[in-house]
Chain A
Amino acid sequence: MAFNLTRRKFLQTASLAAASVPLSKVVSANSGVSKSALDAKGTFGDKTVVGGICEMCFWRCQLVGKVRDGRLMKLEGNPKSIDNGTAICARGNAGVKLLYDVDRLKYPMKNVGERGAPKWKRISWKEALDECGTKLKATQDEYGPHGICVFPHGASAKYPMHYFERAVGTHNVSEASFFQCRGIRDTAYVATIGKAPGEKVDMPNTKVLFFIGDHLGENVHVSHIKQYVQGLQNGAKLIVADPRFSAAAAKAHIWVQIKPGTDTAYMLAIMNYLVQNKKYDADFVEEYTSGFEEFSAAIKEWTLEKAAKECDIPASQIKEVADMLADNAPNVAIHPGRHVSWYGNDFQRERALACLTGLLGAYYVKGGWVPAKGPKVKGVSWAKHDHGHEFDLNYDHEEDEKVYTNNPPGTPTDLIRDCAISGKPYPIKSCVVWGQNPMQTIPNQEKMKDLFRAMDFVMCVDVMPTDVTAWADILLPEKSYLERHDYIKKGTQWDLSKEHQQYISARMPLVEPMFERQDQVYITNELAKRMGHGDKIPVQTIEEMVDKSLASADLSLAKLKAEDGIHIQPGKDPYGVPEDFDVLLFNEDLDDNGHPGAPTYIPVEENPAGFARLLYGRAPVHTFNRSQNNIWLKNAMPDNPVWINNEVAAKIGIVDGDTVGFVNSEGVESTTTTTVKVTAGIRKDCVYMYHGYGSANPLMTIGVGQGVDDTSLITKLAIDPETGCHGMRNNFVKLIKNGKVLDLSA
């Protein structure tokens, strides 16, 4: 381009006046900068703003923000917190970078290109909501409420999820936090002790910690880690079963380098040994369990030797573990785990954990599984309505029974996905994704894409342009957890042996939202008005929702603010077994439904020749795939090196630091590469990498292509027969180095 004048020459000529006068005629009168009526303000220094509740992960630590001129400079733990205290983790600190991430969604956008290859255009909220409302209503009117499916995640997705389930009336809602994570654990414990276990093990006061695959330390939740570390500091013994020398295994008194998929066999042998040698808590079993006889008979085959062979570990080590547990019972903490959707036989493993706790009498005792007695705060949301089960995919209407007898709340992902893709038994034509990234949370990405292709309409609400957002027709920007009210966090002091206290806090914004981001109540209510459900709206604003909820505990946002964001009140002693407590060692309902009544080991597929089993887990500085675009966290851990056994590596000529890609047993190749970590700390039959890397969306300018996306290699689906949840560790890989495929023979 050539301007024939310089600025100076232009300004010196009379042409400036002639040229500039018309300019003002096409300029809007509004300006974002104006003369200030006040004296110049300058900078006032940092202000501490209370009421923050983190959501870099679901543990949700209590925060304060250091704010300067409306800009969040730093996050810290709330000094008043009796949960996380002043401590927050690396991810919590890096929340500042999420808040100000330039890639964040800023305005409603419409895809004027294609799903999967979008061309975005900023539009107004009115246009966006009109389009979403019209399209969703059209689906609702033509196909029924069940024509809409919803994939929600996180605190902000609760209100819209309730709207679609309760007011609209679709059952087709699937949360990754259940179906690809902890749902199996919860329903297995419900089938055993009548309630979901959380991670409520009294670790600070235990004598033995028993972990199956838990890798605390790499999986960081602040108060949970405080409990864990306090337990170790107090002298607790640690038993870790893990194919990998994890951070927890590194601290363990006994590391059980178990063969992947055989954990239930290991526990059955422990339990059988306890029963056969009368080392279980006979009094507890007599008073608080049912089905001991059937249970004992069912697990009798599991001798130490049989399990040793199956699990590829020494029989003497299983005995050592069993004796250590028995010698310290009942003050032993059998950790229920959290992400447990591993092999498609996981319900049985979780049942085994719950039964083992019962055999050891380790419920409601010091150092055992103890649910703290927290305060009661009533939730406020959309009123429930009975929508019947005619269009509920959880039911097999021909057989007049549930498809999965013990599924977590919602509908298993594949029931929805298969229905949406095939159109059978009915069409699903609109999809709402809210805070979830199904492309990286749900296995088999191609199937997920097929679901989106089958839709008439797709809307996504998120803070970041995650992979799934590329499949949206309308993309709505949400306020982050640092800019909105919502979640009520309540609980007790983290160490149950200390003075009993309860706390209640509610998320409050630490800074004003930027751009045109909105909260979930606004967006959902506007959709409801456009879809004909305006009369059912329970609250007008998010502040009203939180205030109404707090009122049930005689609190309000104003009161909480005046109390530095956290209300603390006297607590209750959590120890002591409730009279009606019952551990179903043998569950007759399961038996009646054709499932094993006692915990049962179901073997998993063996490795195909030349392939290693792909294992994945949490990185200490990342949360799933949600934090991969955060520059601080990316700098802390830029990619996800694949752990390979040193002997296997030597055999195929791989050295530490090599760059490799992958191909799985179904021929799917990774689109990116990562580095190799050669170590003796992993079994020969598996490889391991951190989950949550290798975004495929170029809009994530920091996270795109960094490391390998393990989910892209998880194409073979295992379904847990009791729950319908996915098992994601039954996929096998070979390495690709310099274009050459390398066998990983054990």
Chain B
Amino acid sequence: MSPADTSQDISRVYRFLAQCMEYPDSEWMHDDFFNVFYNFIGTLGATDEGVEIKRAIDGAKDALEDLQVEYTRLFINGVPHVIAPPFGSVYIDQSLQGTFAGNTLAFYREKGFDMEKHADLPDHLVHELEFLALLAEEQDHAGEEEFLQKLFRPWFRKFHIRVIDGAHHPFYRVVVQLIDLFTKEEKDGFQPNEA
């Protein structure tokens, strides 16, 4: 397998992870999506987790609504309070649109990218994963590593813990661990059961 092929594969993974962190909608979150999702985590050996998610989905009266309520509670406005806002700046600057968000946007621009008009804030987890996908596609491994180290991992680490601790639905617990797996520096020594 060529390095270019590998980069394309990694790019697809980032893009898929970004999709998983979009607000659940029947447009994309349907049976095909879940089949791909179960297969993917099965490849990673997380079959039990796949079964757990499938059980939660199949056993629900309205599985999509359950995930929408969970997404809203975890990431938008929740009761008793929003668990884990998916914006880097919240963890670094204790605010939306802090300096960290500005630095993130500046990094995108340095690499020749920019935000679309319809986009969320630049430091939203979805956009950071989309950006990583674009860097991987361009085989900018140095850029990818620099971004992960300076602008992704410093906040994702905290976000990850909050989701693991606060999630009620297994889907998001698994998704953030997938993201963790694919963004964590190997030299730290990967601990499969860290969470």
Contact = CB atoms under 8 A, between A and B. Distances in A.
A700 to B, nearest CB: 8
Contact of B65 (A3, A7, A31, A121): A121
A694 B8 CA distance: 53
Nearest to B116: A32
Contacts of A738: none
B186 A32 contact: no
Interface in A308-361: none
A42 B32 CA distance: 41
Q: Is the interface of B mostly helix, strand, loop or mixed?
A: helix
Interface residues of A, number: 69
Given A97-B95, A120-B72, A31 B45 contact: no
Contacts, number: 223
B151 to A, nearest CB: 13
A279 interface: no
A182 to B, nearest CB: 32
A3 B181 contact: yes
A701 B79 CA distance: 10
A27 B19 contact: yes
A3 B15 contact: no
Nearest to B22: A28
Contacts of B71: 122
A3 B95 contact: no
Contacts of B140: none
Contacts of B43: 10, 15, 18-19
A138 to B, nearest CB: 23
Interface string B1-22: 1000110111011011011001
Contacts of A100: 95-98
Contacts of B181: 3, 6-7
A121 B78 CA distance: 9
A33 B115 contact: yes
B76 to A, nearest CB: 6
Contacts of A72: 97
B127 A122 contact: no
Contacts of A106: 76-77
A3 B9 CA distance: 19
A11 B114 contact: no
A680 interface: no
A40 B192 contact: no
Contacts of A101: 95-96
Interface residues of B, number: 85
B171 interface: no
B126 A2 contact: no
Interface in B12-70: 12-13, 15-16, 18-19, 22-23, 27-28, 32-33, 36-37, 39-40, 43-46, 48-49, 65, 68-69
A2 B45 contact: yes
Contacts of A102: 82, 85, 87, 90, 95-96
Contacts of A18: 43
Interface string A499-512: 00000000000000
Given A7-B181, A23-B13, A24-B16, A32 B45 contact: no
A17 B102 contact: no
Contacts of B112: 35-36, 40
Contacts of B18: 27, 31
A36 to B, nearest CB: 4
Interface in A1-60: 1-8, 10-11, 14-28, 30-36, 38, 40-43
Contacts of B23: 122
Nearest to A511: B97
Given A43-B102, A102-B87, A699 B12 contact: no
A68 B102 contact: yes
A520 to B, nearest CB: 20
A120 B16 contact: no
Interface in A684-734: 698-701, 704
B120 to A, nearest CB: 6
Interface in A266-297: none
A33 B108 contact: yes
Contacts of B65: 112, 121
A122 B68 contact: yes
B90 A122 contact: no
Contacts of B81: 103, 698-701, 704
A403 interface: no
Given A28-B19, A41-B109, A10 B44 contact: yes
A4 B45 contact: yes
A119 to B, nearest CB: 5
B134 A2 contact: no
Contacts of B80: 698-699
Contact of B77 (A16, A24, A109): A109
A71 interface: yes
Nearest to B64: A121
A131 to B, nearest CB: 15
Interface of A: 1-8, 10-11, 14-28, 30-36, 38, 40-43, 68-69, 71-72, 97, 99-103, 105-107, 109, 112-113, 117-122, 465, 470, 514-515, 631, 698-701, 704
Interface of B: 1, 5-6, 8-10, 12-13, 15-16, 18-19, 22-23, 27-28, 32-33, 36-37, 39-40, 43-46, 48-49, 65, 68-69, 71-73, 76-82, 85, 87, 90, 94-98, 101-102, 105-106, 108-116, 118-122, 124, 126-127, 130-131, 133-134, 173-174, 177, 181-182, 184, 186, 190, 192-193, 195
Given A2-B48, A23-B15, A27-B28, 16 more contacts: A2-B193, A7-B186, A16-B13, A26-B33, A26-B37, A28-B19, A30-B116, A31-B18, A32-B115, A100-B96, A102-B96, A103-B81, A103-B82, A515-B120, A698-B79, A699-B79
14 contacts: A1-B173, A7-B181, A11-B6, A11-B9, A16-B6, A16-B13, A31-B116, A31-B134, A38-B114, A41-B109, A41-B114, A42-B106, A102-B87, A120-B78
